[in-house]
Chain A
């Protein structure tokens, strides 16, 4: 078991190592380096020399990679060209803001998805299922920027209930954030809930058709007792992995949502750093977002392993 966990962690680390290589090599291979990209037309003379010196671009690529990688491992992501300060200082408030947004969305989204998934599965092909399923299909297929734009148009402009676009400074306090994130949270959790609810639905339906549930029905176990005792524990287990993948997938969607709502999180930093052609920040973001993805998947894998005795013995035999 311990060996298996270590192996998973090892695989995750290898993946991250390759990600770091890809981002580094990608920036090397694509035309222009960090300095000429950032300075654009002014990339000559003293400004260019200063920038090259600042980033240490005058040493060979492999040395720079080793240098960069060892700094990243120690938690130092380098220097932001456009912000003219260490990347860590740029990242700090952004990470906090995104965390607030993500955790509120997840706290609302996961319980809601489980409830909706169970309702749609138990009333399969009846009115509640058809209604909820239609809504989930809509909200998971429509692009984030459309649902976000529609939310602003309907809730903020037509109904006038909430301010549409608020200007939040990136160092806003927790309370300031909380009162301004209603619309972004709705936009994000809508899509997330839809994905997870569909997964829970098909998983519950699968378990309901299994032999042991049929057996419980024949034995005369009361319906709701059967649902809670026999169906749900078995149905929600495989959902853990999908929840993880959905959260990880949302990393991309959050970028767009944050831009629409002008929310100062990691997602908008992605756009800002790319518009400013600030390659050191882009590299840092790539490795951070990839680590989140790998980390979430790792946790999900380990959770399924811990919670499922069958899978455990199977894996060890393998």
Chain B
């Protein structure tokens, strides 16, 4: 009974704390704008299949390259497909792939980083050398190679993106672990005879969580950038899946007389990336982490 009360109290504290962070984030205009944009995109992604006015893959020669009108709000593309429908569904593809990709990146990057920071020594040296090596291969080359050999289904894209964007998190998690590992409570936990697993779970993770989450939020926007670049180059999701990068690359050649079919996905993708960036920045500031002096890695 009593222990129940305590956990309930803890739960409440967690919710309250999350709410507090959200409030701090929204207190500045840039954070508020970012949160609003992200929320808008998430809601749109959830409801888009139900509000889409047309079938996203319905090809029709009668409606090719129509200018925006009451029937086709954003016009139609070179195959006669409704640009509005494809734009709102495009967010769904982008958000799903990058959300699960970031989750994978956070998990393996965070855990490996904490592990390396904790054990140190030879294992740490070897792992960090390998991570450095992976960091020095341009992401685009590595992603292209994987995708061209294994195919462009989401089952390949999500783990591949998750793997490639996790290597930077390894470094952040390792550095954050180094910061806490010398603290007294870890030393005393060791003295109490706790196992490595228990120390990681109960002592280190609660203390490095913030740094890793902030890094993950930032990676999310980079992953979105990477994913849409892949689609743009023709190595991302395959047609006729509605995807912003793919739409931009298809409509690019015709934009001298049908600019609408390139503008709509550009606005969608740019706003989402800017929204995630602003949110991640506000999130970092709300948690008291300064990221402004870091370069993209």
List residues of chain A with CB under 8 Å of any chain B CB. 14-16, 18-19, 22-23, 26-27, 30-32, 37, 137-138, 141-146, 149-150, 152-153, 157, 195, 198-199, 201-203, 206, 238, 241-242, 245-246, 248-249, 251-252, 255-256, 259-260, 270-271, 274-275, 277, 282, 285-286, 289-290, 293-294
B159 to chain A, nearest CB (A): 14
Cα of A31 to Cα of B293 in the assembled complex, Å: 41
Q: Which of B17-25, B77-85, B133-141, B195-203 is found at the contact surface with chain A? A: B133-141
Whether the pair A290, B136 counts as a contact (CB closer than 8 A) is yes
Given contacts A143-B225, A256-B232, contact A18 B133 (CB under 8 A): yes
Given contacts A256-B229, A274-B144, A282-B141, contact A18 B129 (CB under 8 A): yes
How many of chain B's residues touch chain A, expressed as a range? 35 or more
Whether the pair A270, B141 counts as a contact (CB closer than 8 A) is yes
Task: Pick from B248, B255, B277: contact of A141, CB below 8 A.
Answer: B277
Mark contacts of B239-271 with chain A using CB atoms, 8 A cut-off: 1 yes-contact digit, 0 otherwise: 000000100110010011001001000100110
Task: Pick from A23, A138, A145: contact of B274, CB below 8 A.
Answer: A138
Cα of A224 to Cα of B262 in the assembled complex, Å: 47
CB-CB nearest 3 A-B residue pairs = A18-B133, A245-B295, A202-B292
Question: Which chain A residue shows the least CB distance to B273?
Answer: A141
Cα of A87 to Cα of B281 in the assembled complex, Å: 44
Question: Which chain A residue shows the least CB distance to B148?
Answer: A274
Most buried by A among B130, B138, B145, B148: B138
Task: Pick from B137, B146, B228, B274: contact of A289, CB below 8 A.
Answer: B137
Main secondary structure of the interface of B (DSSP, over half): helix
Whether the pair A277, B293 counts as a contact (CB closer than 8 A) is no
Cα of A307 to Cα of B204 in the assembled complex, Å: 37
Cα of A241 to Cα of B141 in the assembled complex, Å: 23
Whether the pair B296, A246 counts as a contact (CB closer than 8 A) is yes
Inter-chain contacts of B142 with A (CB < 8 A): 286
List residues of chain B with CB under 8 Å of any chain A CB. 129-130, 132-142, 144-146, 148-150, 221, 225, 228-229, 232-233, 235, 245, 248-249, 252, 255-256, 259, 262, 266, 269-270, 273-274, 277-278, 292-297
Cα of A294 to Cα of B149 in the assembled complex, Å: 26
B169 to chain A, nearest CB (A): 16
Inter-chain contacts of B130 with A (CB < 8 A): 18, 22
Given contacts A202-B293, A245-B295, contact A290 B274 (CB under 8 A): no
Cα of A251 to Cα of B245 in the assembled complex, Å: 20
Task: Pick from A149, A201, A202, A259: contact of B266, CB below 8 A.
Answer: A149
Whether the pair A157, B256 counts as a contact (CB closer than 8 A) is yes
Cα of A251 to Cα of B139 in the assembled complex, Å: 9
Cα of A19 to Cα of B229 in the assembled complex, Å: 24
Known A149-B266, A249-B297, A274-B144; further 13 A-B contacts with Cβ < 8 A? A16-B133, A18-B133, A143-B225, A145-B228, A145-B248, A146-B266, A149-B262, A153-B262, A201-B292, A248-B136, A256-B140, A289-B141, A293-B135
Inter-chain contacts of B248 with A (CB < 8 A): 145-146, 149
Inter-chain contacts of B255 with A (CB < 8 A): 149, 152-153, 157
Whether the pair B133, A15 counts as a contact (CB closer than 8 A) is yes
Whether the pair B140, A141 counts as a contact (CB closer than 8 A) is no
Whether the pair B229, A143 counts as a contact (CB closer than 8 A) is yes
A101 to chain B, nearest CB (A): 16
B91 to chain A, nearest CB (A): 15
Inter-chain contacts of B137 with A (CB < 8 A): 19, 22-23, 286, 289-290, 293
Whether the pair A15, B132 counts as a contact (CB closer than 8 A) is yes
Whether the pair A144, B141 counts as a contact (CB closer than 8 A) is no
Question: Which chain A residue shows the least CB distance to B30?
Answer: A137
Cα of A178 to Cα of B7 in the assembled complex, Å: 67
Question: Which chain B residue shows the least CB distance to A249?
Answer: B296
Inter-chain contacts of A251 with B (CB < 8 A): 138
Cα of A274 to Cα of B140 in the assembled complex, Å: 11
Inter-chain contacts of A246 with B (CB < 8 A): 295-296
Inter-chain contacts of B277 with A (CB < 8 A): 137, 141
Question: Which chain B residue shows the least CB distance to A196?
Answer: B295
A205 to chain B, nearest CB (A): 9
Listed A/B pairs (30) with beta-carbon separation below 8 Å: A16-B133, A16-B136, A19-B133, A22-B133, A30-B146, A30-B149, A138-B274, A142-B273, A143-B269, A143-B273, A144-B229, A145-B229, A146-B266, A199-B293, A202-B292, A203-B293, A238-B293, A241-B295, A242-B293, A245-B297, A248-B136, A252-B139, A252-B141, A255-B141, A256-B233, A260-B252, A274-B144, A282-B141, A290-B136, A294-B136
Inter-chain contacts of A149 with B (CB < 8 A): 248, 252, 255, 262, 266
Task: Pick from B134, B140, B235, B262: contact of A252, CB below 8 A.
Answer: B140
Given contacts A19-B136, A142-B274, A249-B296, contact A31 B233 (CB under 8 A): no
